[in-house]
Amino acid sequence: AGRAILASRRSKGRARLSA
């Protein structure tokens, strides 16, 4: 949980940050 969140943060944001 680090790069996946940063990459998703630019795409959706908290959509994957919670997953």
What is the predicted pLDDT for the residue at 8? 63
CA geometry: angle 10, 11, 12, nearest 5 deg: 105
1-19 pLDDT tens trace: 566 666 666 665 565 555 5
pTM exceeds 0.75: no
What is the predicted pLDDT for the residue at 13? 58
What is the predicted pLDDT for the residue at 7? 66
What is the predicted pLDDT for the residue at 18? 55
What is the predicted pLDDT for the residue at 10? 64
What is the predicted pLDDT for the residue at 1? 55
| Per-residue 3-state assignment (H helix, E strand, C coil) for the chain | CCHHHHHHHHHCCHHHHHC
